[in-house]
Amino acid sequence: MPCTRDDLESRERRVLAPYAQFSCETRGRRYSEPPPEWRTQFQRDRDRVIHSRAFRRLEYKTQVFLNDTGDHLRTRLTHTMEVAAISRNIARALQLNEDLTETIALAHDLGHSPFGHTGEAALNSLMKNHGGFEHNRQSLRIVEEIEQKYPLFPGLNLTWEVREGLIKHSTAYDSPERMREFARKSCSLEAQVANLADEIAYYSHDLDDGLDARLLDERELCRAGQIWDEASRSVRREYGQLPDECRRYFVIRCIIDSQVKDVVTTTEANLGKVQPRCADDVRRFPKPLVHYSPARRKLNLQLRAYLYKNLYYNPEVHEPNLRAVQMLEELFYFYLDHHEELGDQSRKRARKVGWHRAVCDYISGMTDRYVTKEYHRLFGLELARKTAL
C-alpha cells in the first residue's frame, strides 16, 4: 500500500520531539486547498519552493564572488543547498521536523538581490523613501505575491510556519522584519536551526572559496584565530601530510562538524533547562534556544572579523561588486523613467504597489548576468565595458 499523508503524520508523532513543529498542526495557508495525498503539508511546501522560478534564478546570483568568476566558487544556489543539508542534519539530531527546516533553508534567499549583500545595500538605499529593501522581507513577498504559478491564488501559498521562518530569518548579515502576523517573541526551533545553518555554511564555505581564489592564506588563518588552527591540527594528527586541496577540504569539513556538534549540544542543554512541551512554548520563549556555546560564539566572531577584513572587503571582491552595483543603480532610474521596458507583470503590479516598488521587485529578481545583459542592451556595449573596467 502507498504511504499516505496520514501515515507520514503518524510517523512524525512517533519520531519527533514534543516541541517539534508537527505538520498536522500547521496553522494552514492563506488560501484554502485540499490537503496533499502522498505528502505532508511541509513536503508540499518544499516542492513548491524548488519548482519556483525564483529558486532557479539563484544559480546565477552572487554569493561572495561575482557569478562566472570561477567554476568551483559558490553561487547563491549552491550556498542554499549547503544550508539545507546542514539544516537537516541538525534537525535530525534534535528530533525536529526535517521537512520544515529544509523548506525554510531552501527558501531563505529567494528574495536576494543580484550582486550579493552589496546589491542589497544599494537597493535599500534607492528605496529609502519607499519602504526600503531587505531580502528576508522580499523572500516573503515572492512566496506570497510575486510568483505566479497557480490559477486560484498569487504566490506559492505556503504554510504559516514556513512564512514565519522566512520573515524571522536572522543571521549576522540579516535584520529581520517583524510583522503583526508573526508577532511571537521567537520562531519555531526548525526556523532557528535554519538560521544557524546559514551562518555555519557561509563561515566555512566562504573560507573555502577565499582559499580557492588565493585571497586567503592558511598560515595567516592559523595566526588569526583558533578555529582554523584547531581543525588543521586535528586533520594533521589523523591523516598526516595531505595534498593541499584534500587538506583544505578536510579542515573545512572538521570546522563544519565542530560547529554542528556545538549547536546540537548547546541546544539540547537549553531545551533540558526550559523543557518546552510544544512548538508554541518555544515561540513564547523570549530568546532563541538554538545557538552556539559562548566559547564557540567568541571564536566565530574572530573568524567573521577576519573574513570581513581579508575577503569581503578585499579589493578583488569588493571593487567588482561596487562596479556591478553602478549598473544596477543606473537600471533602476532608467526603468522609473521608461515603464514600457518593464515586464507585463511588473507593470500590472505597479498599479497596486507603486512604480518604485515594482521596479525594485523587477531588479531584485534579476540574476547577475541578466543585469549585465540589460545594461548592454539599454546603454550600449561600449559604455558597459567601461563600467566593468
Q: How far apart are CA 193 and CA 211, in angstroms?
A: 27
Report pLDDT for 175: 47
Report pLDDT for 181: 59
Position 88: which residue type?
R
Report pLDDT for 385: 47
Q: How far apart are CA 150 and CA 37, in angstroms?
A: 18
Q: DSSP state, 146?
A: I
How do the pLDDT tens digits run along the chain, 389 residues long? 889 999 999 999 999 999 999 999 999 999 999 999 999 999 999 999 999 999 999 998 877 665 555 556 778 899 999 999 999 999 999 999 999 999 999 999 999 999 888 899 999 999 999 999 999 999 999 999 999 989 999 999 999 999 999 987 544 444 455 455 565 678 999 999 999 999 999 888 888 888 887 888 888 888 777 888 888 888 889 888 888 888 888 999 999 999 999 999 999 999 999 999 999 999 999 999 999 999 999 999 988 888 888 888 888 877 877 888 899 999 999 999 999 999 898 999 999 999 999 999 999 999 999 999 999 999 975 444 444 44
Q: What is the CATH number of domain 5-318?
A: 1.10.3210.10
Radius of gyration of the chain (CA): 22
Q: Could you state, in order of their start, the residue ranges of all structural domains in the chain? A: 5-318, 319-388
Report pLDDT for 72: 60
Beta bridge partners of 155: 148
Report pLDDT for 384: 44
Q: Is 79 exposed, middle or buried (0-12, 13-18, 19+ CB in 10 A)?
A: buried
Grid cell at residue 368: 547577475
Report pLDDT for 219: 85
Q: Is 255 exposed, middle or buried (0-12, 13-18, 19+ CB in 10 A)?
A: buried
